[in-house]
Amino acid sequence: MSHTNAELSVGAPLTVLSEDEEMFRASVREFAEGEIRPRVEAMEEHAKLDPALIKHCFELGLMSIEVPEEHGGAGGSFFNAIIAVEEISRVDPSVGVLVDVQNTLVANAFLRYGNDAQKQNYLPQLAENKVGAYCLSEAGSGSDAFAMQTRAVEDGDSFVINGRKLWITNGNEAEIFIVFANANPEAGYRGITAFIVEKNTPGFSVGKKENKLGIRASSTTEVILEDVRVPKENVLGEFGKGYKVSIETLNEGRIGIGAQMVGLAQGALDAAIGYTAERQQFGKAINNFQGVQFTLAEMATQLEAARLLVYNAARLKDARRNFVKEAAIAKLYSSRAAEFISSKAIELFGGYGFVKDYPVEKFWRDSKIGAIYEGTTNMQLQTIAKLITQGKQPLVP
């Protein structure tokens, strides 16, 4: 794969991709530049995704990249989903996480654990026009996800669910929710079960939208379940195996968050390279000064290392090889790299970097969530430590 000097000057990825993957990247970038970038400022100001943009994402197949063609999807690879999240997040990480959750969490959960009837019913909807959401966290159940208080009680041919979920990405836009509840508290985490809940189910409601530091256009909401009756056929996976659904799906989702952070960092670096080439001080562009050059070099190095880690984890997943450690390392490093790169971009912009007229302060605000959601930095360190010291990590402690 060849690159021109112009491409290299803006930090183009050097990781070798196939011709089809390069074409896919180019098509997603064209969409991001043409359709997302003109909307970023308004979506950020109103803290809401543009519905027309979400419709475009469906029309282009970006919301169902891995869904098989017989279910209306693109029939692509997990790696393609990672490329899409990266390229979209380069322009707006809020849109990036919409696409990420739809593909790496919701669709993947159906693909891995759904039975034939569930796949035939829900995958075409997720491919055509319905956003999905993943409801695991609660007010008192974050890193300790198995401490959840949401309960599901068997009642005839249904389960009745009561509880509250917090920090639900896509909460306002979603119509199909994967909800985790404990249906047998006496069994501890072995009572946790995953349920498919549709938004129009009586007793189901979406609560307040959080007023966030970053990724402001992405809706992060509370989900409230009050005597929500769900038929038994809407159990996703096996009864009492919801802990397995959550752990294994989140392992994949962490690679998606890594891709979001890589895209974000690329956007910040692109902006910094462009600005330092134009900004004049002492009679010349500031990118002629060694201090600026070294800063850009450090940023580019961390970005490329993060990208390689994310791509490696995604390749392992597609190859059906063990990728848990690699996913944790990729998320850990990429979130740190994104925060570092976006922070340095602000410094290179000087006073302009501190105001909203320029894009880098938004990238920095958006970067902070990378160390928190889909497994905090400390949880990634714990996973990595267990795997390198014990050689094998059980699903649960």
* Sites in the chain below the pLDDT cut of 70: 1-15, 391-397
339 is catalytic: no
d(CA 164, CA 206): 10
Q: What does the H/E/C string look like for the chain?
A: CCCCHHHHHCCCCCCCCCHHHHHHHHHHHHHHHHHHHHHHHHHHHHCCCCHHHHHHHHHCCCCCCCCCHHHCCCCCCHHHHHHHHHHHHCCCHHHHHHHHHHHHHHHHHHHHHCCHHHHHHHHHHHHHCCEEEEECCECCECCCHHHCCCEEEEECCEEEEEEEEEEEECCCCEEEEEEEEECCHHHHHHHEEEEEEECCCCCEEEEEECCCCCCCCCCEEEEEEEEEEEEHHHEECCCCCHHHHHHHHHHHHHHHHHHHHHHHHHHHHHHHHHHHHHCEECCEEHHHCHHHHHHHHHHHHHHHHHHHHHHHHHHHHHCCCCCHHHHHHHHHHHHHHHHHHHHHHHHHHHHHHHCCCCCHHHHHHHHHHHHCCCCCHHHHHHHHHHHHHHCCCCCCC
Q: What pLDDT does 68 receive?
A: 98
Superfamily of domain 5-131: Acyl-CoA dehydrogenase/oxidase, N-terminal domain (1.10.540.10)
Q: What pLDDT does 392 receive?
A: 60
pLDDT in tens, 70-122: 999 999 999 999 999 999 999 999 999 999 999 999 999 999 999 999 999 99
Q: What pLDDT does 143 receive?
A: 86
**CATH 2.40.30.200, domain 244-390, yes or no:** no
Domain ranges in the chain?
5-131, 133-241, 244-390
Indicate which residue of 66, 87, 173, 374 is catalytic. Answer: 374
Fold (CATH) for 133-241: Butyryl-CoA Dehydrogenase, subunit A; domain 2 (2.40.110)
- Assess whether the region 133-241 and the region 244-390 belong to the same CATH fold: no
pLDDT in tens, 2-58: 333 334 334 444 467 999 999 999 999 999 999 999 999 999 999 999 999 999 999
d(CA 306, CA 341): 11
Q: Are 265 and 238 in contact (CB under 8 A)?
A: no
